[in-house]
Amino acid sequence: MVTPNWYYFAIAPLNSGTIRFRTKTERALHARVIACEINWKDYQTSNLLDEWITAKKELEIYQDSLHINNKKN
């Protein structure tokens, strides 16, 4: 099973990598989505599909909250 490198996401600067993130939390949530997607494609179980869907929803909710907070400021 694929798991994100949480140490990297906690330590690496936000401006490194090919995708630019606003926060380290956003970057970690994105990594979880990618890991869940790979796991689901490799093993094709309903539990892994549910995890992938949940991870995508959590990332979307977080990104929406960032967008709302930016509008307020």
pLDDT in tens, the chain (73 residues): 888 887 777 777 777 777 888 888 998 899 999 999 999 999 999 999 999 999 999 999 999 998 887 777 6
Contacts 24+ apart (CB under 8 A), 35-42: 35/2, 35/3, 35/4, 38/2, 39/1, 39/2, 42/2
pTM of the shown model? 0.84
In this prediction, residue 36 carries a pLDDT of 94
In this prediction, residue 73 carries a pLDDT of 62
